[in-house]
Amino acid sequence: MNLILLFFFLSLISQVPSEPILTVNPKTLSKSGDSVHIQWSGIESPSKLDWLGLYSPPDSPHHNFIGYKFLSSSSSTWESGAGSISLPLTFLRSNYTFRIFRWTESEVNPEIHDQDHNPLPGTKHLLAESETVGFELGRGPEQIHLALTGREGEMRVMFVAEDPEERQVRYGEKEGEWEGDVAVARVGRYEREDMCHAPANESVGWRDPGCIFDAVMSGLKGGVKYYYQVGSESKGWSTTRSFVSWDKSSNETIAFLFGDMGTATPYLTFSRTQDESISTIKWILRDLEALGDKPTFISHIGDISYARGYSWLWDEFFNLIEPVASKVPYHVCIGNHEYDWPSQPWKPDWANSIYGTDGGGECGVPYSLRFNMPGNSSEPTGTHAPATRNLYYSFDMGPVHFVYMSTETNFLQGSSQYDFLKHDLESVDRMKTPFVVVQGHRPMYTTSFESRDAPLREKMLEHLEPLFVNNNVNLALWGHVHRYERFCPLKNFTCGSMGQKGKDWEALPVHVVIGMAGQDWQPTWEPRPDHPHDPVYPQPKRSLYRTGEFGYTRLIATKEKLTLSLVGNHDGEVHDMVEILASGQVLNGGDDNNGKVGAVHKVDDVTRCSFSHYVWGGSVLVLGGFVGYVLGFVSHARRQIATERGWTSLKTEER
């Protein structure tokens, strides 16, 4: 009888379903970008809608996840109820935990969706939760990035740490020998109450941004390689980084310029992220390593992280760019996705259709505190939040005078920005810096179908183009449109003479749209005026080259010539270029007054002449070294189809 009861009892136990198990390893990571291995088992009747959520801090409510992954797209063994995935994590000043949920088709709410209109997964049925994963103490600050101050002999360095305890930067010409060169960093931060609207000021989007430190290394010799660390003895020092100091007497300028890059994430989240940003950084890193000890800088002209109020995307962005931004100055100007919200103070009647909700309720606050550009431009927010900074400024780099402007704040005649631009352009010493390059976010010229921005372009043509033409601006670079497009030398939509075939030439600005660094929403080109609804987009004569290729531009200038090249992300090669002489004459990329395309040098020849002797030798080594950094991100599957019902990635109008 006892044996029968024991057998019956064991039989009942065997029929009880096992509880799902979710484990993580290791439980402590050394730095941002390190991966955690997540393993699960014991999931009964697995479904394609079962999903894994990332949470930081660990006590976040179920619906306030950082990101998510569907188990079916994460592991080939998911149908067995078990599987695993490795994810790189970014330090958010808090631990992580992971949760697995069951989500049924009957619970799908199409009204609650991500930016691609895929329904966000539901959190009603929790299956399992992991232990916490944290980061080592004493590892030093992260998110290190450099910037010019505009003053000779200086370099600014900014970084993020978890508390306001004093941090420093120590630096010197020999690695590990700081020779007493130490600068104390100023510390600041912003709070949830500084954000102007949701999601930036709600718990779903807000996370602790940490403390933002800002230090200036001074007494630097021009064109010298310096080593540096940031941190403190009590909290730990970063790994040693290096940069080449600004050389005011240099007769050469090298820069890498683009707009609208954003960042990539190894998970899906509320906001669309930008996988192409990985390739952009990869190829720029190749170029930087090949250059060796030549001073250069990066210019990112608006739509920086595309955080749109989800604050952890700023952390992901700075983690992505740190390999390049800790080597060379990283300069920015403001775009609509950093600033725009209806409550912002500048609201001209003609701009009602232009300045919308693209900033996600951030209203310029993270942008203003996470960067510190030269000059002291700022605009009040009209609230208790810090003033918006980094709006317009300029500096010289070798033979080029670079000017940055804001298309999101007042630039009309009579504004402080207009007065700055006018005075700055009129004051350029063309003997010292024969080239002038102006940069802003929204373009003055584009042939994309940008009907919403038409009133703004009209104001730019009315108020700014005369400044550019009268002061012989050589190059005007713009973002916002997520394509590359190069125009002939332009004035009022009319191509100036290129001076070919013995004709006189006219010095006019060359406008180039360079918003192709990462954001993958691709606008259509302007249709034919008489057939606006037919998918035929003829290329106007003023548009000499346009493409949907992702990539960045590379600027190389001497006192005699400036060359701007488009480098494509799919192969790292040059796909377009234009050359401008110090006199203002454009050597190639156009023809005569009718705007016909003239003879353009072969890309291979241009590359060999202007840059490949720097790049060729270092490319293979750098690409190999970069693999470790991007490995965690490359596995990021974009916009999975949640079920067989066909929820695909739908692109809405976005710039």
185-218 residue pLDDT tens = 999 999 999 999 999 999 999 999 999 999 999 9
pLDDT on residue 654: 53
SS3 163: coil
CA-derived radius of gyration, the chain: 26
3-state secondary structure of 349: helix
Scored b (16 or more CB within 10 A) or e, 330-341 reads: bbbbbbbbbbbb
In sequence order, the 6+-apart residues with CB closer than 8 A to the CB of 459 are: 350, 411, 412
- pLDDT on residue 523: 84
HSE on the CB side for 69, CA within 13 Å? 22
Cβ-based neighbours of 587, under 8 Å, separated by 6 or more: 561, 579, 580, 581
Which residues of the chain, if any, have pLDDT below 50?
A: 9, 12-16, 590-610, 617-653
User: Would you state the pLDDT for residue 226?
Assistant: 96
The answer to whether domain 247-523+535-588 has CATH 3.40.50.150 is no
Phi/psi of residue 577, nearest 5 degrees: -160, 160
With beta carbons less than 8 A apart as the criterion, state whether 204 and 360 touch: no
* Per-residue confidence (pLDDT) for residue 248, from 0 to 100: 83
Domain ranges of the chain: 21-135, 247-523+535-588
Question: Is CATH 2.60.40.10 correct for 21-135?
Answer: no
CA angle 276, 282, 286 (to 5 degrees): 150
Q: What is the pTM of this model?
A: 0.90
pLDDT, position 347 = 87
Residue 76 CA neighbour count, 13 Å, CB half: 0
Distance, CA of 82 to CA of 286 (rounded, Å): 40
Burial 27-65 (b: 16+ CB within 10 A, else e): eebebbbbbbebbbbebeebbbbbbbbbbbbbebeeebb
Other C-beta atoms closer than 10 Å to the C-beta of 475 total 24
Tokens found for residue 220: 């630097």
Q: What is the pLDDT of residues 274-300, one digit of tens each?
A: 999 999 999 999 999 999 999 999 999
Q: Which residues contact 184 (CB under 8 A, 6 or more apart)?
A: 166, 167, 168, 215
Strand order in the sheet with 186-188: 142-147, 155-161, 211-217, 186-188
**Structure token digits, residue 501:** 């075939």
Amino acid type, 199: P
